[in-house]
Amino acid sequence: MQTVTLIPGDGIGPEITESAVRILKSAGAEIEWDIQTAGADVIEEEGTPLPERVIKSIMKNKVALKAPVTTPIGKGFRSVNVQLRKSLNLYANLRPCKNIEGIETRFNNVDIVIVRENTEDLYAGIERQIDRDSAESIKIITREASERIAEFAFEYAVKNKRKMVHSVTKANICKLTDGLFLDSVRNIAQKYPQIEYKEILVDNLCMQLVQKPEKFDIMVLPNLYGDIVSDLCAGLIGGLGIAQGANIGKEYAVFEPVHGSAPDIKGQNKANPTALLLSAIEMLKYIDQKDTANKIEKALYKTIKEKINLTPDLGGTSTTTDYTKTIISNL
Ligand code: NAI
């Protein structure tokens, strides 16, 4: 039995968490959940959306499954997600994007893995109001973090038998910062002659992704481009409801979907739990419960392929509850 920190988040977080936990339990996952609330709902009582107990729990258990947490725009606490990634040094944000049979999209040959640097860039949070009508933000890029994420991308390529890595920057304009990122990836690429290495500017990448996504395999990007491009790639395979993710460091790993707390559909029993479930499947593989992971994966793909009881974002009319029941009956 492995203890795993569970953060149900807010917005649609608790609904999709309940679904994923039920499916994992039905599949026989050997997990004891250490439930840690965080986000908008705990601020009143604890004065912060990210109480210290949440970090301590992950430090103790080493692994967490996390649902989304709301970040207020323009004011208040910066971001639970950014804070969590920083506190635990979860430097790599891994976001695989692959077509799922049964979900019709413009393309049927997308199989991309996004490796996003997770600790610096404009997310370092160094912002300043100059006067009432102007503000500035500082973009931090270091060789250490850039080489570390490049190494992660190439190691992932080798372990998962992938063929190509693209570095993605805007080094023609941000010559020093993105230039440093690019130079760092180039250095690391030399150590992996068996993996084809290519470079592309982020604007050109966006255009090519929506025309020929099959040209791309693994991409390594600084934080902000990684954030934006991963939503684009989620769109290529059918939307945020099915886009999984993981934040990985040397000591800890937090598995979470790409999407946010979706306040527009909160409490309506129509959120798609697939992205969280796919993240949980990766978590099961990570903690060496591969058979359970494969069992859930099969039941999930069968459910989607048969198109019975899909949630509205996938073109169905089902509730989260019925979709969950169908997956469980397919286990
Ligand atoms: P969002 O990802 O929450 O929603 C964007 C659109 O996708 C909405 O129309 C929503 O209904 C839909 N959607 C998202 N997940 C879905 C699901 N599982 N099933 C069906 N439809 C789904 O992005 P938004 O609205 O920009 O952000 C809402 C809040 O979430 C913000 O406070 C943001 O900061 C936060 N956020 C948190 C993240 C995290 O905890 N890791 C990641 C991204 C955003």
Report the separation in Å between the CA atom of 262 and the middle of ligand 1, taken as the mean of its atom positions.
4
What 8-state DSSP symbol labels residue 35? E
Please name every residue paired with 254 in a beta bridge, in sequence order, or none if there are none.
64, 247
Q: Report the pLDDT value the prediction gives residue 74, as an integer from 0 to 100.
A: 65
The domains of the chain are located at 1-96+241-331, 106-237
Whose CA is closest to atom 40 on ligand 1? 68
CATH topology agreement for domains 1-96+241-331 and 106-237: yes
Q: Which residues contact residue 187 at a Cβ distance below 8 angstroms, ignoring those fewer than 6 apart?
A: 147, 150
Q: Tally DSSP H helices, then E strands, for the chain.
A: 11, 12
Residue nearest (by alpha carbon) to ligand 1 atom 25: 262
Question: Rounded to an integer, what distance in angstroms lies between the CA atom of residue 250 and that of residue 145?
Answer: 13
Mean pLDDT split into 10-residue runs, the chain, 331 residues: 96 97 98 94 87 96 96 72 90 95 93 96 91 96 98 96 98 97 98 98 98 97 96 94 95 95 96 98 96 97 93 94 97 96
Q: What is the DSSP string of 68-135?
A: -----SSSSS--HHHHHHHHTT--EEEEEEE--TT---S-S--EEEEEEE-S-BGGG--EEEEETTEE
Q: What is the pLDDT of residues 13-31, one digit of tens each?
A: 999 999 999 999 999 999 9
Q: Are 300 and 242 in contact (CB under 8 A)?
A: no
Q: Determine the atom of ligand 1 nearest the C-alpha atom of 68.
A: 40
125 neighbors 168 (Cβ within 8 angstroms): no
Nearest to 97 by CA among 225, 261, 211, 209: 209
Residue with tokens 């559909």: 265
Check whether domain 1-96+241-331 has CATH 3.90.550.10, yes or no: no
State the Rg of the chain over Cα.
Answer: 20
Is 274 a pocket residue for ligand 1 (Cβ < 6 Å)? no
Nearest CA to ligand 1 atom 39: 68
Q: Note the pLDDT of residue 75.
A: 65
Q: Whose CA is nearest to atom 16 of ligand 1?
A: 241
- Cα separation, 22 vs 324, in Å, equals 8
User: From 3.40.50.720, 3.40.718.10, 3.30.70.1400, 3.30.830.10, which CATH number describes the 106-237 domain?
Assistant: 3.40.718.10
Report the predicted TM-score, pTM, of the whole model to 2 decimal places. Answer: 0.92
Q: Measure Cα distances from 186 to 77, 190, 208, 229 in Å.
A: 36, 7, 22, 21
The reported pLDDT for the residue numbered 76 is: 66
Phi, psi of 98 (to 5 degrees): -135, 140
